[in-house]
Amino acid sequence: MKKIVFITGVAGFIGSNLAKQLLKTEPRMIVVGLDNMNAYYNVRIKEARLAELEKYPNFTFIKGNLADKTLISQIFEEYKPQIVVNLGAQAGVRYSITNPDAYIESNMLGFYNILEACRHSYDNGAPGVQHLVYASSSSVYGTNKKVPYSTDDKVDNPVSLYAATKKSNELMAHAYAKLYNIPCTGLRFFTVYGPAGRPDMAYFGFTNKLLKGETIQIFNYGNCKRDFTYIDDIVEGIARVMKKPPEKKNGEDGLPIPPYALYNIGNNHSENLYLCGNEGLEHPANHQWCLP
Ligand SMILES: NC(=O)c1ccc[n+]([C@@H]2O[C@H](COP(=O)([O-])OP(=O)(O)OC[C@H]3O[C@@H](n4cnc5c(N)ncnc54)[C@H](O)[C@@H]3O)[C@@H](O)[C@H]2O)c1
């Protein structure tokens, strides 16, 4: 039996790596990928990732916008995906200050369209979507102090619009899981890094500047801790989760319990920027670092 997997954000860092791994290791999987190839960062990186995927006969690419409801319903009607992995989103915390519209379009409207398409995949008794997996983010933890973070922690105080959209996605998915019995799993990722990663992320920006002998600007005296996750570990996590949808079952009242799960995918060791930069020279006046 062929399994059809629909991956959004397939030209993105995580989406392209997941698609490649599935195409390489799961011969019975057909991967249908969507991406709008937006210019948030250098599109040539996205094109290069796509070129790798297009070598596989089981891969189909559709260029389009998640916010286009007609297109999303058409894709679901035509391909009837059993597994949907929503990785298409406007990422980045800083950019949400200058470009909030992009977050509402891709992360709110786009995700709503995916949920609606999943809901209607069961119309007329069709088997429909067996599992919707979607990306959330560690940014939902905001300024929480308690570590390690747990999905049981309260995350009602987002400190960026990006985080607010990710938390909203979790709430929307829960409502759709409850109302339409759609098995949904949300994954909170923690700073994913690796080859051909996202150039907007600090680790690339820092490396570029240090290689050019320029200084990097750090905040809060470099006292900034982060969990980093290698791309292959994220891909393995998603690939494992995809195959295990939360069970559909009824509660004591006879009504369905929402088949809904939420996981952190990271490790339990944070890196401190201050320690990373300890090799460099400090300029206390402006909190900048450079390599000698
Ligand atoms: N990389 C990380 O460290 C990290 C951490 C936490 C959460 N996440 C989440 O994981 C997911 C994937 O992240 P990534 O690092 O691969 O980012 P990415 O920017 O490399 O990939 C996202 C892809 O989605 C596409 N896209 C954006 N809006 C779209 C739209 N409206 N329609 C169609 N395609 C659209 C982009 O063109 C891009 O190729 C995102 O939801 C992101 O928020 C990533």
pLDDT classification of 282: cutoffs 50, 70, 90? very low
CA–CA dist 128, 198 (Å, integer): 33
CA–CA dist 197, 193 (Å, integer): 6
What is the tens place of the pLDDT at every residue in 237-253? 999 999 999 999 999 99
pLDDT at 292 over 60: no
pLDDT at 290 over 80: no
What integer pLDDT is reported at residue 222 of this predicted model? 72
How far from 30 is each of 1, 80, 119, CA to CA, in Å? Answer: 11, 11, 21
What integer pLDDT is reported at residue 271 of this predicted model? 80
What is the tens place of the pLDDT at every residue in 184-233? 999 999 999 999 999 999 888 888 898 999 988 877 777 777 889 999 99
* Average pLDDT across the chain, whole number: 92
What is the tens place of the pLDDT at every residue in 55-111? 999 999 999 999 999 999 999 999 999 999 999 999 999 899 999 999 999 999 999
pLDDT at 286 over 60: no
> For residues 8 and 66, is the Cβ–Cβ distance under 8 A?
yes
What integer pLDDT is reported at residue 140 of this predicted model? 97
Active site residue 162: yes
What integer pLDDT is reported at residue 274 of this predicted model? 62
Catalytic residue selected from 41, 95, 162, 180: 162
The single-letter DSSP state of residue 258 is P
> For residues 83 and 230, is the Cβ–Cβ distance under 8 A?
no
pLDDT classification of 136: cutoffs 50, 70, 90? very high
pLDDT classification of 283: cutoffs 50, 70, 90? very low
Tokens representing 182? 């759609």
Q: Which pTM does this prediction carry? A: 0.93
Residue 177, amino acid = A
Residue nearest to atom 42 of ligand 1 (CA): 91
Among residues 246, 188, 185, 240, which one has the least CA distance to residue 21? 240
pLDDT at 285 over 70: no
Work out the end-to-end distance of the chain between its first and last CA atoms, rounded to an integer number of angstroms: 59
Give distance in angstroms: CA of 176 to centre of ligand 1. 22
Give distance in angstroms: CA of 8 to centre of ligand 1. 9
Residue nearest to atom 1 of ligand 1 (CA): 192
Average pLDDT of 113-127? 98
Tokens representing 66? 């998640």
Residue to mutate (ligand 1; options 7, 8, 10, 13; most atoms within 8 A of CB): 13
What integer pLDDT is reported at residue 76 of this predicted model? 98
CA of 46, closest atom in ligand 1 = 39
Residues with CB under 6 A from ligand 1: 8-9, 11-15, 34-38, 46, 65-67, 87-91, 105-106, 110, 135, 137, 189, 191-192, 198
Residue scoring higher pLDDT (276 or 186): 186
pLDDT at 41 over 90: yes
Q: Spell out where 18-125 has E strands.
A: 29-35, 59-63, 83-86
